Amino acid sequence: MPLDPMVRRILEELNKAIPQITKIPLDEYRRLFRAFFANQPKRPVYKVFDITIPGTETRIPVRVYVPRDGKGLGILVYMHGGGFVLGDVETYDPLCRELANACDCIVVSVDYRLAPENKFPAAVIDSFDATKWVLEHAGELSGDPEKVAVGGDSAGGNLAAVVAIMARDQGLRPGLKYQVLINPFLGVDLASYSIREYATGFFLERDAMEFFNKAYLSKPSDAFDWRYSPILRNDLENLPPALIITSEYDPLRDSAETYAVKLTESGVPAVVVRFNGVTHGFYGFPIPHAKVAIGLVGSTLRQALYERY
């Protein structure tokens, strides 16, 4: 279907507010990116606080969103998007507030190390360490270790998918209950229809993707490491069930939907929902589609974690 007019207007505003990432210094781009998304309306949440948790390579800042009073709440460990180069807990504060209220669960937003200052696999290590810590210390957050899910969008969706595999491979107990992948980047994709048709003019640009890859990876062969390209893994059995949200005008669409097929063929329950008329990143825009997507994540996790809608 045609590109949603509201999305088209937002893209025009973004193009005016933020130059191409290759045209200005990275620090300036990060500041503009944060300002645009962090200034979206912020819904009240029962409790929000920042803590720092120990990782194997560094101490990891996280922001915790608690939707209501009580014990034994479910927890969503959330990794933000931004090509492994952009984003932080401030940028994603509006979205994580929405998720905490919609899912009726604690959201732990992970401020993993960014590239190019910290190359692959630094973001993977921080994301896994944070998830492991949450599983081990859920009670300290008023959460239930038996009700922990992992999620993320774009590059964060990549990290969430990788963490789910690592948790299975390392036998973390209790295991993860669910994974939510929103517009996820799942690795090498040079020939799909969506990467060819939508990599110019639809928010996530080819030049930006190339910039992110060069910033994050130390060498070209890293692109074939499954921790960067989880779509290359074939042993996907016994992973947590997945909700994968894709967008019609997203260059990452086809690889995400292919990953859903691979999960299903491996016996993992996977639901893929494509939102038509929107681009990559639509869930962070002030549009009705975003509210529907967040509501979908909410109802899915309430069912997965509490067996209620």
pLDDT in tens, 150-192: 999 999 999 999 999 999 999 999 999 999 999 999 998 878 9
**Taking the model in full, what pTM does it have?**
0.97
Given 109, 247, 280, 289, which residue is catalytic? 280
Domains of the chain, with CATH numbers?
5-302 (3.40.50.1820)
Question: Of 77 and 20, which is predicted with more confidence?
Answer: 77
Cβ burial 216-246 (10 Å sphere, 16+ → b, else e): bbeeeebeebbbbbbbebeebeebbbbbbbb
pLDDT in tens, 104-150: 999 999 999 999 999 999 999 999 999 999 999 999 999 999 999 99
Residue 239 has pLDDT above 90, yes or no: yes
- What is the C-alpha R_g of the chain? 18
**CA-based nearest residue to 14, from 40, 43, 50:** 40
Burial (CB < 10 A; 0-12, 13-18, 19+), residue 26, is middle
d(CA 143, CA 193): 42
pLDDT at 178: 98
Over residues 83-104, the mean pLDDT reads 97
Residue 309 has pLDDT above 90, yes or no: no
Told to judge if 266 belongs to the known catalytic residues of this protein, a careful annotator would answer no
Percent of the chain with pLDDT over 70: 100
pLDDT at 39: 81
Told to judge if 299 belongs to the known catalytic residues of this protein, a careful annotator would answer no
Q: Which structure tokens are listed for 25? A: 């210094």
Using an 8 Å Cβ cutoff, are 186 and 250 in contact?
Answer: no
pLDDT in tens, 244-293: 999 999 999 999 999 999 999 999 999 999 999 999 999 999 999 999 99
pLDDT at 37: 86
Given 109, 154, 194, 247, which residue is catalytic? 154
pLDDT at 308: 81
Using an 8 Å Cβ cutoff, are 119 and 125 in contact?
Answer: no
Cβ burial 258-277 (10 Å sphere, 16+ → b, else e): ebbebbeeeebebebeebeb
Over residues 210-233, the mean pLDDT reads 97
Told to judge if 280 belongs to the known catalytic residues of this protein, a careful annotator would answer yes
d(CA 57, CA 194): 37
Given 4, 111, 153, 250, which residue is catalytic? 250
